[in-house]
Amino acid sequence: MTPFGQRVREHREQRGITLAEMAGVLGVTPAYLSALEHGKRGRPTFTLIQGVIHVLGVIWDEADELVRLADLSHPRVTVDTAGLEPEATLLANRLARDIGDLDAGELNRLAVVLDEAAARRARAEGAA
């Protein structure tokens, strides 16, 4: 399941909207919406994301979260390490090979490292 799919399902279930009802309003099949929720489809289109936001009636912060999660929810990722340090290629390949063996805590710790790096970059860009 992708982060976007998980969050859509949570919102849908909280509001008592069935998969079939939501799919009908969005103009997609229930099978497609289920596949999207389970990460068996690629990143949703902007139009579909906006439709989901409308159907769910989410507020600003939740809508922004869904847009952000959709951007980060492609289930088949390609990492281009051409021109980067050899360590980047090694890390990308190890992550591709081993990600299925990591538990939620380990994945969260890796995400913290990435968040810290992004914060450092933002501070450096702000200082420049």
Q: Is the domain of 9 the same as that of 55?
A: yes
| 86 touches 66 (CB < 8 A) | no
DSSP state of 15: T
With a cut of 90, say whether residue 73 has pLDDT above it: no
The whole-number pLDDT of residue 42 equals 78
User: Cα(125)–Cα(110) distance, rounded to whole angstroms?
Assistant: 23
For the chain, how many structural domains are there in total? 2
- Domain extent at residue 22: 3-71
In a domain, 53, yes or no: yes
Task: Answer positive or negative: Cα dihedral of 35, 39, 41, 43.
Answer: positive
Q: Are residues 14 and 60 in the same domain?
A: yes
The 10s digit of each residue's pLDDT in 12-45 is 999 999 999 999 999 999 999 999 888 888 788 8
Whether residue 76 is contained in a domain is answered as: no
Q: Are 5 and 73 in contact (CB under 8 A)?
A: yes
Cα 122 to Cα 128: distance, rounded to the nearest angstrom = 10
pTM greater than the 0.85 cutoff:
no
Token pair listed for 103: 């538990």
Residue 64 lies in a domain: yes
Classify residue 65: in a domain, yes or no: yes
Is the pLDDT score of 127 beyond 90?
no
Distance of CA 78 to the CA centre of its chain: 15
Asked whether residue 46 falls in the same domain as residue 102, the answer is: no
Residue 57: CATH number of its domain: 1.10.260.40
Q: Does 22 share its domain with 52?
A: yes
